A = this chain, B = another copy of it.
Amino acid sequence: MEALRLAIKQMIHISDEEFEQFVAQTCARTYRRQEILSVPDVVPNELFFIWKGLIRVMIPDQAGFDHTIHFALENQFIADYSSFLQHQPSLYTLQAVEETQVVVLPRSAIEWGYLHMQEGQKLGRLIAEFYFIYQDNRIKNMYARTPKQRYDSITDVFPNIHNRVPQHMIASYLGITPVHLSRLKKQS
Contact = CB atoms under 8 A, between A and B. Distances in A.
Contacts of A122: 114, 121, 124-125
Interface in A104-158: 114, 119, 121-122, 124-125, 128-129, 131-133, 135-140, 142-145, 149
B139 A135 contact: yes
Nearest to A140: B59
A148 to B, nearest CB: 12
B81 A132 contact: yes
Given A81-B132, A85-B129, A139 B138 contact: yes
B82 A137 contact: yes
A161 B175 CA distance: 27
Contacts of A129: 85, 124, 128
Band of interface residues on A: 20 to 34
A56 interface: no
A86 interface: yes
**Highest count of chain B CB atoms <10 Å: which of A85, A128, A140:** A128
Contacts of A59: 140, 143-144
Interface in A155-183: 175
Interface in A9-29: none
Given A91-B140, A140-B69, A143-B59, A125 B132 contact: no
Interface stretch (A31-39, A47-55, A60-68, A95-103): A60-68
A46 B79 CA distance: 31
Nearest to A88: B133
Nearest to A68: B143
5 contacts: A59-B140, A61-B145, A91-B140, A114-B122, A121-B125
